[in-house]
Structure 1
Amino acid sequence: MYTRCSSNGFSTSVIGEKNNVKSKLVEIVTNHISCKNQYPDSNKSFVSKDYLSQHLLNFGTHEELYQDDNYQEKLLTPDIFKLTKPDESNLSFRTYSSGTEETSTSSAIKRTFIEDKSLSKSPTSRMLCFDQYMDNKNVIKKNIVLNSYTRSTLWHKKSNSMMVYLDVIKKIDIDPNGLLRNSVLEKMSNNIKKKYLVKSVDISATYSNIRKYALDRVSSMINEDIAGLDITITPGMSISDLRSSCISNNNFFRKLQECCEKITENIKLAPENFLSHIFQSCVIVHVDNLLDPTNNKIKLYHKKDELIPKLKELILNTISNLPNSIICEIEKLDQNNIVNSLFSKIHGVLVSKSLIKNLILFFNSNKNIFINIKFADNLNQFNELLDKIVNIVRTYCIFHEGVFLPDESTSKQLSRYLLSDMCGLSTNFHKKFKLSVQNVSAFQESVDNIRLESNYTNNSVTNESAKKEPDVTNTELILCQKSKRNSVFAPSLNIYELAASTIDINKGDFDESFMDNLKRYPLMKEYFNKKEKVNIDLSTTHSHVKNYISETLYDFVKKIEKKIEPLPGMTIEELRLAHISNEEFFDKLHKFCFEVINSIKNCSDTMLIDLMQRNVYLETETEAEAVKVVKINKKIKISFREQIENLLIRNISNASEIIVSAIKLIPDSKIIEGYFSHFHNIYIYNKSLLRLKSAFNFVQEKVINDHLLIELADKISLKMINKMGGKSIIKGHVVRKIVNNNIICGKLSTYNYIRKLVGEELCIPKAGLSDHIIVVNNNKIEIADKKTRDEIFGGIRSDLIAKTVKSYNDLCIEIYKSRIRNKKLY
């Protein structure tokens, strides 16, 4: 079975976990949290399935073509089906337990918010080996009526892919077995006079502090880009599927597991009083007051030292069991919380937060254009930006009583709104925005109800007429104009580029060094002399440094030509290891990093201090609400130059290790995507696809030069004038009926002739490409067998027919309109 991809274009083949990965899994204590799961027998890891919109060969979507013998040949891409049973969830996730790792299926119950099943079901396809969410005829799309335009600033805000996980950490159950509560109750009972009967104690503030402690430690150690990399949102998913997608994020839970292990090790090595600030200073005891029944609450101030061992034990249990706790809490989330965690409402429609994130990246990469552009001076440049935004928007799902892709109308309207948001334009300019004719949507227009009619007229173009040399001056047959997606291949995703964009930085002692330097200022001495621990928020500086390093490495790896070639017989894991062991690349990277470090040492203060945040927030554990804001002016920033410089040098000098660590975390689907593209549900090597594109162009040229079709187009335009009477607006079904209501070569209708012509011409390049098509089969690279090659060329044939038919219709309309214009002139 061959690896196919769902609507997102990512492979979701089952890949067995390597033993060395399993050995690293942390044993999680599960004595204190009960999570109701069902475990299938298999022990498999599922890679992500994000939506991939840009195919190297996208020949358009199309409806059905009918022949005169009522035989229907559908020109749609092959169906994508679900493999699970109707009562099963579509995604699997890992349950982390003591000494074991099992694949578990979300035990989500039936929802009233949305039907708890896929929107469509289809029989299993031969080539499928993973779960998918596609209708058996078309990608699930939906038209949404947007609100009247009001400028939104939502996309300016940071979109955190970890939000769904961070939110549930705030809700996890702390001390379910009463380990700490019972110890406190026992201590309090011994210290209270006998006239009081102790009923219970309130240590909810301590539990809240434990959650906050876990949240702070985890969020500072996990890269949010990695956290969101494997969250799948594809058309047709139910809310239960969305929930399962969050739970099945293997990359996140593997990284979380490693972080929990490090945190627990640090806690064990820390002195006893290190955690004392977590325990609340005052305990409220609920009692039965025998003397005064109305006075049933007593505040007691206790010695924390007596309870620190139990507190430390509880914190260790909580951190160790955090993966399971998060899974349990995600299963408890109601439907609104699930949706709000993954989607954001903008202009009246719930869009994927991944879209918001990518729009922010798009804006930042084109910031100079957005700042300097003026509408009156450069409408074309606005239209180019609109083209790019539409191509981004149409590939991300929306939520409206289910998960859908936006249809073309919604994509265009939302993109106009977003462009106005970015540029600060009013609605007066919306109508002036126009997508270019080369936009990819030109190939996605459906050939609606094209029929190869059987009721032909007596008019025909025969072989005798074919002997005449046609005049092609004004009637040259031109296929659909080349789109950026079709004529210019989408660039391959460089694995090193992806790794550079998802790196984690090593903060080292930067925060401590920064705080020590800050203590030297007179105004800060009093604040830092307090006994409580002072927390400092340098997350903005961390982000600036990370972005600087990421962009520096990204610019370098983008220029490096990839020397690694996937070979038949190679597995995806071997392809990953080939990138990790690429000595030539890492030698060049080492030299580049040496040059960067020298430039950092010799650069001006301005470049480095710009990475420092303007406001630094300080808070103590007992006065969490009273946050102190320290304004960092330029003079103070300069004093921190050394710390910033050391942080940059430390990370850039270890760039090789950082890149390797990032590559290890990249999902297999992304590795595949670096060299293979999705075409008719099969991953095909990009170089093979280039050869297929050449075959496509060869046949295309043969059709362009067919003189029978050129001559017939001129005659069809005359028939359209007689039928339409010179109207400028023509309905599509009328055009198709007139075009196909002709006979070529004595017995073939127009569309049947096009079908025959394409089939004959495609046989020539097919023979020469038989041994040069490389595909992915069950996560192994190999040369396509005959059956697979036939499927690929069958897809090309269908695309060619649909494109040619639509292009020929457009040509006839253009000739008709040209005749009408010329007639009016006289």
Structure 2
Amino acid sequence: MCSRHLRNDFTVSNTPARKSIKDEDDKTITEEKVSCKIQNTTNDQGFGYINKGELCQDDTYQEKLLPPDIFKLTRLDKSNLSNPIDTFETTKPSTYRAIKRALVEDDPPSIESTTKRVNLKQSIDNKNEIKKNINLNSYTRSSLWHTKINSRIIYRDAIKKIDIDSNGLFKDSVLEKMVKIIKRRRLLKSSIDLSPTYSNIRKYALEKISSLLNEDTIDLDITITPGMSLSDLRSNCISNNSFFKKLRENCEKIVKDLQLTPDNYLSHVFQWHIIFHLNNSSNSTKIKLHAPKYKNLSKLKELIIDTISKLPNSIICEIEKFDQNNIVNALFSNIHGVLVAKSSIKNLSIFFNYNKNKFVNERFYDNLNSLNDLLEKIGNIVRESCIFHEGVFSPNESTTEQLSKYLLSDMYGISSKFHKKLKLPAKDMSKYQELMDSIRLDHNYTKCPIADTPMKKEPQIPESHPISETCTTPSEIIDIKNEKTEISNSYNNEQTATTSDIKNASKPEQYSITKEFNIKPYRRINLCSTEFRSSIYEDAIKKIDIDSNEIFKNSVLEKIGRYITIRGLTKSSLNLSQTYSNISKYLLNKVSPYISDIMTTTCICITPGLHLSDIKNNCLSNNIFFERLSKRCKKIIESINVIPDDYFLNIIQSNIYFSANERLAVARKRNKRKKFCSEVKLLIMDTIYNLPNKIINELKKFKQSELINGLFLKIHGIYVLKSFIKNLNLFFNSNKLPNNDPIANIDLLNNLLTKLLNQVKTSPMLHKGQIFYPGEYTAKLLSKYLLLDMYEIPFKFNTKLKPQKNIKDDILVSDYEKGSVTNAYNGMKSSLLRKTMLIPQKKSKWSPALITSLNIYELALSMINIDKGNFESYFIDKIKNYNLVKEHISKKGKINIDLSVTYDRIKNYILGTFHLFLKETEEEIKEKVKPTHGMTVDELRLAYISNEKFFYKLRKFCTEVTNRIKNGSDDTLIELMQYYIHLETDIPKVMEMRKKRRIVFINEIKNLLIINISNAPELIVNAIKLIPGSKLVEGCFSHFYDIYVDNESLLKAKSLFDYVPKKIANDHLLIELVNKISLDMINEIGKKNSVGANSMRGIINSYIVCEKLSTYKYIRKLVRVELLALKDKLADPIMIMRNDKIETADKKARNDLLNKLGSNLIEITIKSYNNLCFKSYKSKMGNKN
């Protein structure tokens, strides 16, 4: 039951007192509960309330008052005295006097009713800090470091107090089921006690969201800053949007699961006995009755669902009613008589764990300097801590020094007598920041949100959320067309114009183009995941309205109208959503490759300073993309037009639904479905024809969250562009390591880190709905994380990765230029190539999904870097007359420019050009490059390099392509030139390249393509020489347990793995058993309330199929028959590789291979049949409920 808020911020509640439940799982609650009575305080030391007339009004003084707790006021505003006050009691309206009296009575005795005078001298000493001197208790060693500290306990406490069954519906239902016994025993209905059930529901809710409450990140948005009042602390807990968003998502999922859960699964929540209280003048007795548990389970389930669905709002209501003790105990812990913020204790605890072995087996007297150094670090953390003493303060220097010494003694067991020898130096925030960064990186720890400024703030939307309240930065762009520079100076407050007209009334006049972000603790991410490849335009296709004019729907109604009339169905309830969904998937499969191809040369303009609304407009106004897509759509329509109508039969849904229980089956009536094929084909062609316009219409409807998900990815807690991840994968493919040893490749990794850092620094990132460049610290940390992700390097090596100071991009490029590639290969030690490192790790499981078949020539092509030639020199020569460039060259003598986007596009264009050719020649390559007995990895490499037939065709193809580029007039090539050029000046600037300006470089773009395509055969040869042996063999072999087996043999086995489970599923004897087994499982669950995996397998295998064979024995028999057929298929020699040497499998190895294949096939088939039985069981349980 929630409290009501009045206009002047009073809180009125008529909720009856409820018993809180004990959280047995949280053993730290009793240790963390502290008293809020702070000793040894005087009026001069604290802040109180004084009359306005008593304040000094001189210019040198300010009113510095501790804001009152709006939830604990004792007076009402006079303007509201005559207004009636709402209450939840409908039978008796509340009055002002009653409310006032209740509020005064609820006030804790620690809050004084008299006013206090503010110590103005103390409050104006430092406008940015509110400090307090606290007298600490006598020193006694604390064991707080051995307990888990968190501020999430406030949400646990709130859940323990939420009101269950506030409307009494569940209570009425229980009473209704017991009406006979109540009348017979003359019990009072009002005396029923259902508190054990309510308590169990609270525990059930806590258990269900325990994983969320245990997350370390959910309390990061509860910021505590000096100057906060109790109301501010409460508001911060309530406005923790990040937590409540996750909570609502979890609750929705839990509710969906509960709706599918059988009622009897929740029987443990209902109390065993129902108690009635009999009170009279002489005694008070309890009557226990057996609870009619199973009669009330459906209502109990409804109550649990209702409680969990309302959980976020219930938690907020309870926190609003918390008193000072509840809030302070949740957010602060008592250390030596001082209430210190738990976020600060968390930092101190991490610091202790980081340095706990500092003085092992050493005497403190011999390490006085080290102790003072540790004391300084602890002092810097304590200075930034917040303490509670009738408000939130920072400790003053005296308190800081004394508390720091106490904490040092707690950590290392130093005697308090030793404190006199220790001295705390002056404040040094640089060391504090260095310390916290070190802890954060080396201990996987995210810094707690201690605010940078100690001034009081309003509760903020979490910074990690990308669409929270925005601030503005300019897009520093140079307009080449008008040959003028538009620069924003971040060091003054002058408002400057930018090339994009961004209007926002709330924009400040001072801007910053870079920003430091909060990066999450490191957790490896698969950067090659398919979710990173989709574009916002593909997301829009998934949402387009198929058959918006309902032509197809009307056609269907016309063709099946007779059946609808006979069955008495309603035409308006016709549901064709499954067919529309199938059409949407078909469209996506058809169009996605073309969208990816177009996006390689067409970018969406996203630069620092842009807001989400500007980015959305850029997506809508991407005319080049939509023009090209329109041309592609016309070609797709032409190809679909020649496809027979019957091809689209599978797109039409098998059953046409009219309601949840009414459907018209067309699955078995092929001719009936055939009637719709031509209409489906026309619908697909019509949708594709209008696809560009439909995409635009859907993009206009996109919400901010959908826009973010379409363009950005959250990598390590930061929203980065999907295009950046795409380029990152190209970077990875172009810079493979010779082997998997990070120590041996540390120099190369540091060089790669430097190049990656340069790319990250100029990659736009989203924060609070606006685009920024990452700051120096963010860029370095994110670059390390990405390098660890790309090369799968263990986290412990992150400390050895250090960017080089003077390295340039071309240093890394030169390592892969044609000459360097050759030299690097020739300089390799032969022992490195012959080193036995190709023995795969032995795995207990194998599946056909592990079969790999790389195109080695395509892999080699992706590794080569672009030969830049004189392109950069030519470009600088063309722009050197512009004012900004001329000015920079006159000062520095040269200027560096970033053309990496152009080079990436050129490389993507080349890869796309060669892709079809390599696919067409793939079978010829397999025929020519065949592993033979006795061949080594070096000889296999040589076979790829000496494939003259392939290279002859490749050179011929290259000549055709270069002639087409040279003699053609393809204006789309100019799109390979990037739109924005980053100038590496003192203050980073961006140069805009309009189309008319880019045309100047069309010939140079063509020359770049011609040079690189012409040299492709030689570059591929040199790249193959550098491919690691473990990667090279994947062109012909795949891992199979502890050896490599040729792909041709494994693919034959794969066909059997696909066929046998289907055969088992269609075996008439096994199909008949499925129904019996599922019924047996239901009976078993009725006895045990649950069924384990072993029990399920026991039930399945307990049946005899035929010839005294149990279920699993019968399945094994069927599988072995098929294995004999596989043995005949594998008559050709099976090639295996061990110890870097290829050989023909002998009889023993062959039998071992077949045995392992048989074991895997039997296991997969039995598992498939188990799943079939379990699905049947679930289906029957669903129908039963």
TM-score (norm 2): 0.31
Higher RCO, Cα 8 Å, sep 6+: 1
Which structure has the larger Rg over C-alpha atoms? Answer: 2
